[in-house]
Structure 1
Amino acid sequence: MPQKTIILKYTKFLLIAVIFSATTLQLNAQKIKIDGVAVVIGKNIVLDSDIAKFKQEVVQRSEGKITISDCEMLEELMKQKLLSHHAVVDSVTVLDAEIDSKVDRSIQFFTQEYGSLEKAIATYGFNDLDDLKSELYNVQKENILVEKEQSKITEKVDVTPEEVRLYFNGLKDKGELPEFTAEIELAQIVINSEPTLAENNKVIAQLTEIRQEILDGASFRMKAIINSKDPGVTQNGGIMQVTKESSLIKEFKEVSFSLEKGEISKPFKTLFGYHIIQLHEIKGNTRTVSHILLQPEIPEARLKETQLKVVEIKRDIEEGKLTFEEAVKKYSDDKDSKNNGGVIINSYTGETKFDLTRMDPAMYARVNDLKQGEFTDVFYDEARGGEKMYKFILMKERTDTHTADLVEDYVKVQALALNKKKEETIEKWSKDKIKDTYIKLGEDYKKCSFEKNWKKVTSK
């Protein structure tokens, strides 16, 4: 694949993360000196520091496999700024709820990436969470504008079967047919090992006692650090930001929004365990809360009982006493897969297929050697919320790594053909829009050789 194609795809993939980093560098740089302006497009500005940071991100994320010049990087940035400028001109609407949702996801990503929200804020040089969220709001708003403008430009673009065939044959003639990696479809049966009623009551009583001690003057933060089973509590004392659009569990959000400032909830249950929450601050649609999480212990005997039950279910399927799908419907406790035959959804793509080479290493080790129709052994697992369970997995479908075939891979080839046609449509749109858009290049970049006529040179 030509290097330029790789650069284009890679840059789009990194767009959100890189723009955020570049903007942060821009803010920090402005504290030291006045940053150079590389280009102005409409009302949008690209700074010298933006180019430098983008280049750095591309090199780091590609592990040095992709290099790109300042001129190439600037052109990629100009394409994005042109789209966002005309999205505003075309009155593209972006709702606050859309932006807030993306901001929340970004904050969760950075928290996971750096281990704590405080560390992420410090790493990027922001003063506090509000400072970070304010900058992320601007970044995500522009990203959504770009996405919506692209969708608007390509909304009527489609490909016919003949166009798909011609696209495929064109790749074949040039020896450029793509290689599709091994894909699998998995299904599972999951049985949770539940704590006893006595263990649940024990945890509720403990939280009730802690709540009373806090009401009597004890520090919520210290009680959280000493008692909470939330792994992030040592960094932030159990404090978190909650909005109605955040990806937090429903019960947690409902209780957070039901409290008055300073109030402490009574113990309540979620799939993570039992919580108490104290509301610290109300700011618009955001609640700042602290929480303490306790999880009931599950006796070893109960775990063994669950394991034997799952082993028996698997044996009954293998002996033909019931089908896998019947067993899923009758026994499985996994709410996400129970109603679709146990099929596991890929959380990254929203589809049922998994790229075998990009799977979690632990899951890869379990399923890599399975043939279609085979099961894993029964094994123990824990969910993110702390639930303990036994399960086994069925290799429902498996397609090994292969060169694209028009019949077998028609849907994938069709998607590639459609994507190419959309890119060509956006490229044509860009060339037309450059003509009537205000563009001012900095002196250092007027010597660049661009693919498009950003300099607006009149042809003779």
Structure 2
Amino acid sequence: MKRFLLLPVIVGFIIVTFPVVILAEDSSTVLATAGNLKITQEDLDESLKVYSTEIQNAVKANRQLQQKFLQRLVELELFSSIAREKGIDRIPAVKKRMEILVNDFLSKELLSREVVDKIKVSEEDMKQYYKANAEQFKKPEEVKARHILIKVKRDASEDEKKAARKKAEEILSKIKKGEDFASLAEKFSDDPGSAKRGGDLGFFSRGRMVKPFEDAAFSLKPGEVSGIVETRFGYHIIKVEEKKPASIQPFEAVKDTIKNELIKKVQNEKVKEYVQRVMKERKVKLYPERIKMN
């Protein structure tokens, strides 16, 4: 089974259940069968090569993705086989579309081999880009916090607002007496997203939260608990657990990103030059004025 040409154009997973065999080390190991169809580890590995390195690594590192990819490959082979049995591939309009897809793939493969793969980016080029674009790799200050929200409706009456604030003050009093913040958040917080995690909001930077909440959180030191903070959502009690100062990501951490960025910049110009050269060598002539308009 060696037909992988059209794999990239299949978008999404078709929901069909097939028996899935866990991936094996031996390249000859059969991973799936359907009638005369047989897919081996080698087939799966080859089909993965049409995707980017990032996708390949993600699939190889995740058992669930491996199984989904195998099912996708089975679907592709099985359904295309059925289509051929029914003569769908011999319908003129279908043949033309298949030809376009094949030509598109071959064109990209040619440009990849003749242009993109030959582009080299040196370590020095990457370091110069890193130094010249330091702001691009800046990580803003972040804070890790928990909170307890006592929700107040936008159309709440004054009595309802007073009752909500009183409840928040009672909870704050419990915290000051030493009761566990996370347990109180789980019990009393009206924020369904964080309450079940003990009010944990994880790390966030400025601009992620409403202003009064943000100002309070970033003014606290790790371990400190705020007073009652009012926002449009209601009354909050915030506990900061950790802070990360603003920093520049190290070169090694962004090296691949820089390399890809530099390749993209060079690639566009190199591809343009290649296309122009080939068009000239092959004496291509275009007659756009002859295009029939609907």
Alignment TM class, shorter chain as reference: 0.3 to 0.5
Which entry has the higher C-alpha Rg, 1 or 2? 2
Q: TM-score, normalised by structure 1?
A: 0.31
Q: TM-score, normalised by structure 2?
A: 0.45
